[in-house]
Amino acid sequence: MRASVAGCRMSVGALLNGLLVSVVAALLWKYSKLSEHATLLEEELHMTQQSQEVSQARIDYHVALQALQEHGTRMVCSGKMHTDRICRFDYLCYCSEAEEFVFFHSNSSVMLPNLGSRRFQPALLDLSSVEDHNTQYFNFLELPAAALKFMPKPVFVPDVTLILNRFNPDNLMHVFHDDLLPAFYTMQQYSDLNDEARLVFMEGWGEGPHFDLYRLLSSKQPLLKEQLRNFGKLMCFTKSYVGLSKMTTWYQYGFVQPQGPKANILVSGNEIRQFARALMEKMNITKVDEPERDGGSAEDEKEKEKKDEYIVVFSRSTTRLILNEAELIMALAQEFEMRVVTVSLEEQSFPSIVQVISGASMLVSMHGAQLITSLFLPRGAVVVELFPFAVNPEQYTPYKTLASLPGMDLHYVSWRNMKEENTVTHPDRPWEQGGIAHLEKDEQVRILASKDVPRHLCCRNPEWLFRIYQDTLVDIPSFLEVLKEAMKARPNLKKTKIPWNLKYLKVREVKYEVWIQEQGENTYMPYILPQQNYTFSENIKPFTTYLVWVRCIFSKNLLGPFADVLMCRT
């Protein structure tokens, strides 16, 4: 009973539920016909399996069916609340007609958490990484396993499956922040969610323009909700995980409060960079790593590096344009004496773009999803984000927040167009591209007069859309000014002292032992370093004095004396 009652309380409402019930009733009457039909379904399965490569992991159908009938569904979840929950299932089924997942009860089924007859409120879990979004909830119907005898023969998916919702597969920032990173680290939580795992996207969208990126998560083709119909009326996942970790997300999109960084960010740049590295390997991109430094003199290195440094301008070719891009590029080249490369999603393959960005010293771009690619920048690089007129950079910080994550080691700068004469508006475009023609006249007047978009919630604020879709003529002097200021303000990095006598010593393997003591603390942190220049950023508190003890280690066991202690203020 809970099943259908719950069903009608679920997203799809009474309609679908009535449908399910009538289906079941019909099936009861048509039992004999169904057995034939089931055989057809099984053939269909094998067809589908072929095309889906599922056949590689084929299972004994009748063993599986018996297990399902006897043991029903097993579910064990982690997490106390629905916003924080991932569940592991054996034999979770999906009824494509009712578009509902089904939990089959037997006297040996397991459900943890089990609320008895109380239903999960508002849902068992979030199916996307966006917290508590009411279009992203996951629930299931409940039926007695006995009812299986009177339902279509189930089709089994033998792969270990990760079931989730993509939040917005059309937008590159959303693809990375909401889907790829969370899925990548959700898979790392479970040993059997490996390269052989199957992803199933239940949000109901088509593949979308970035589907190749989702393909990188495992060797198996991801399945879309619409494709599940091909498996027949009832399909059962022998082993599946449902839900996504939110551990790696850093930004909230303004559904309950104006958009901004998440209150409690749990990811650091290290995990982002691990993810980026893994993805680049999948794309067969050989990262331009920081050159090895042990031995050779630092000066030569500096020279060598200098030569192959370059700046990337990420240009948008349809909306939110930089109207004087050529001029901007010239200015950058002259100012920094570097090559300037332009890339655009419309003209290059994504891997080729990542290849370029992974070696860049600076990334310049208008505010927009393409800036998520800054997670592929090397450590120490600079991110420059441009904002159209009347848009406050402090209110839209997904990329600033990313660049500022500890361990991300990026330097972020924003520039904002302050000159109204340098902006080009598009009042007559459709509303979703910032058009305002559909608004009341006086509202249009108000928006046109306003010099600053007030704080607002997601997602259809016309004033915000109007301003963010402006094209901009970048004022070069003010742009360079901001850039130079920012570079000056770059934090003064602590360096370990290079012993004066080193260049006179002919020692191949020189290492440095560095002990750092926080003033007042009675404990030390020992580091063994190959480099002469090393920046201690991790675990360094601001506004603190550190005592730094440095000594040489020649060929491992010959230890030099500690040099005089260095005092460092952060």
- CB atoms under 10 Å from CB of 219, counted, come to 14
Closest CA to 220 of 246, 194, 247: 194
Task: Please report, as residue ranges, which positions from 343 to 382 form the binding site for a second copy (by CB under 8 A).
Answer: none
Task: Please report, as residue ranges, which positions from 84 to 113 form the binding site for a second copy (by CB under 8 A).
Answer: 84, 86, 88, 105, 107-113
Residue 308 vs residues 384, 398, 420: alpha-carbon distances, Å: 20, 29, 38
4 binds a second copy (CB under 8 A): yes
- CB atoms under 10 Å from CB of 497, counted, come to 13
Residues β-bridged to residue 111: 75
Closest CA to 304 of 293, 313, 295, 315: 293
Q: How many residues can be counted in the chain? A: 570
Task: Please report, as residue ranges, which positions from 130 to 189 form the binding site for a second copy (by CB under 8 A).
Answer: 142-144, 146-147, 149-150, 160, 185, 188-189
554 binds a second copy (CB under 8 A): no
115 binds a second copy (CB under 8 A): yes
CB of 488 to a second copy, least distance (A): 25
Contact residue for a second copy among 23, 64, 540, 563 (CB under 8 A) = 540
Contact residue for a second copy among 44, 46, 65, 78 (CB under 8 A) = 78
Identify which range of 1-9, 57-65, 229-237, 318-326 contacts a second copy by CB under 8 A: 1-9
Cα–Cα dist 60/58, whole Å: 7
449 binds a second copy (CB under 8 A): no
Which pairs from 520-528 meet CB under 8 Å and 24+ separation?
A: 524/549, 528/553
CB of 317 to a second copy, least distance (A): 36
CB of 338 within 8 A of CB of 143? no
CB of 294 within 8 A of CB of 512? no
Torsions phi, psi for 432 (to 5 deg): -75, -10
556 binds a second copy (CB under 8 A): yes
Give the x/- contact pattern for a second copy in 299-328, rule: CB under 8 A.
------------------------------
In sequence order, which residues have a C-beta less than 8 Å from that of residue 197 and are 6 or more positions away?
159, 160, 161, 162, 187, 218, 220
23 binds a second copy (CB under 8 A): no
Contact residue for a second copy among 61, 205, 527, 549 (CB under 8 A) = 527
Cα–Cα dist 124/147, whole Å: 23
CB of 181 to a second copy, least distance (A): 11
CB half-sphere exposure, 478, CA atoms < 13 A: 12
Contact residue for a second copy among 12, 21, 563, 568 (CB under 8 A) = 21
518 binds a second copy (CB under 8 A): yes
Comparison of 30 and 307: residue with beta carbon closer to a second copy: 30
14 binds a second copy (CB under 8 A): yes
CB of 136 to a second copy, least distance (A): 17
Contact residue for a second copy among 26, 256, 266, 502 (CB under 8 A) = 266
- CB atoms under 10 Å from CB of 471, counted, come to 17
Give the x/- contact pattern for a second copy in 474-513, rule: CB under 8 A.
---------------------------------------x
**DSSP SS3 for 559:** strand
CB of 326 to a second copy, least distance (A): 38
